[in-house]
């Protein structure tokens, strides 16, 4: 067995996942249970159903869309960040826009989708590309939910008219297909 000298520290501060061996005493049948050999990841490494975020600190850097569940708001924020990126990169050809922002999709599912559909999506306009992203990554029926939210909204006695209008504008603003 290889061991580190007492004075040294491992180069990787993140330990490998713990492998949980199968315990024959806990099994009622003789078939192999391979799931017991799957790595056990601590929950803080990869939270389940975490919300995706967009990151865009510098206009000339590619906007990032982190891994996680993508909401319509985050999708729209990433889309606006991409538009800012295109404006800042004036020499970027319109035909190169999609290829320029694809590396910003950091979600594994999104990455796999891009690899699978690369030839289909790179020649698209940015608007058509975003329409495909909406279909692939936003929850089914999100537009209907928005429509119902807008239609059911009403001014409460405790709200000012201006704050209600601002809330409606914000809700409507991040769903581009309704403009």
SS3 breakdown of the chain: % helix, strand, coil, rounded to 5? 50, 5, 45
Which tens digit of pLDDT belongs to each residue from 9-61? 444 444 444 444 443 444 444 444 434 434 443 333 444 568 899 899 999 99
150 in a domain, yes or no? yes
Say whether both 60 and 96 belong to one domain.
yes
User: Is the overall model pTM greater than 0.85, yes or no?
Assistant: no
- Residue 158: the pLDDT is 85
- Alpha-carbon gap, residue 37 to 19, rounded angstroms: 6
Considering the domain architecture, whether residues 86 and 150 belong to the same structural domain is answered as no
Q: Could you tell me if residue 110 is inside a domain?
A: yes
Q: Which residue has the tokens 């020499």?
A: 91
Q: Is residue 99 exposed (0-12), middle (13-18) or buried (19+ Cβ within 10 Å)?
A: middle
pLDDT at position 163? 79
Structural domain contains residue 122 = yes
Inside any domain, residue 39: no
85 found inside a domain: yes
What dihedral angle (degrees, nearest 10) is formed by the CA atoms of 33, 37, 38, 39?
Answer: 160
Token digits of residue 34: 């391979």
Structural domain tally of the chain?
A: 2
pLDDT (0 to 100) of residue 169:
67
Task: Please report the sign of the dihedral spanned by the C-alpha atoms of residue 80, residue 98, residue 64, residue 57.
Answer: negative
Give Cα separations from 96 to 92, 100, 101, 117, 130 (angstroms).
7, 6, 9, 16, 15
- Write down the pLDDT at residue 28: 43
Q: Which pLDDT belongs to residue 172?
A: 57
**DSSP-assigned beta bridge partners for residue 21:** none
Task: Verify that 63 and 123 share a domain, yes or no.
Answer: yes
Residue 166 lies in a domain: yes
Instruction: Please give the residue range of the domain that contains residue 156.
Output: 142-178
Low pLDDT (below 50) residues in the chain: 1-5, 8-47, 176-179
Q: Tokens in use for 132?
A: 């495909």
Output the pLDDT for position 6: 52
Task: Show contacts of 92-100: CB within 8 Å, 24+ apart.
Answer: 94/125, 95/123, 97/126, 98/122, 98/123, 98/124, 98/126, 98/129, 100/62
Give the pLDDT of residue 16: 42
pLDDT at 49: 64
């Amino acid at each position: 067995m290889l061991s580190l000298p007492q004075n040294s520290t491992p180069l990787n501060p993140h330990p490998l996942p713990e492998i949980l061996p199968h315990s024959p005493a806990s099994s009622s049948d003789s078939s192999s249970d391979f799931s017991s050999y799957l790595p056990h990841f601590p929950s803080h490494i990869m939270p389940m159903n975490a919300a995706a975020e967009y990151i865009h600190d510098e206009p000339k850097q590619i906007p990032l869309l982190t891994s996680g569940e993508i909401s319509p708001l985050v999708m729209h924020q990433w889309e606006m960040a991409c538009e800012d990126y295109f404006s800042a990169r004036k020499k970027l050809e319109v035909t190169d826009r999609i290829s320029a922002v694809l590396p910003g999709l950091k979600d594994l599912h999104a990455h796999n989708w891009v690899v699978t559909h690369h030839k289909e999506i790179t020649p698209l306009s940015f608007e058509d590309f975003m329409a495909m992203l909406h279909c692939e990554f936003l929850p089914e029926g999100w537009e209907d939910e928005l429509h119902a939210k807008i239609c059911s909204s009403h001014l409460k006695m405790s709200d000012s008219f201006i704050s209600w209008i601002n809330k409606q504008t914000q809700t409507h603003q991040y769903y581009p297909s309704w403009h």
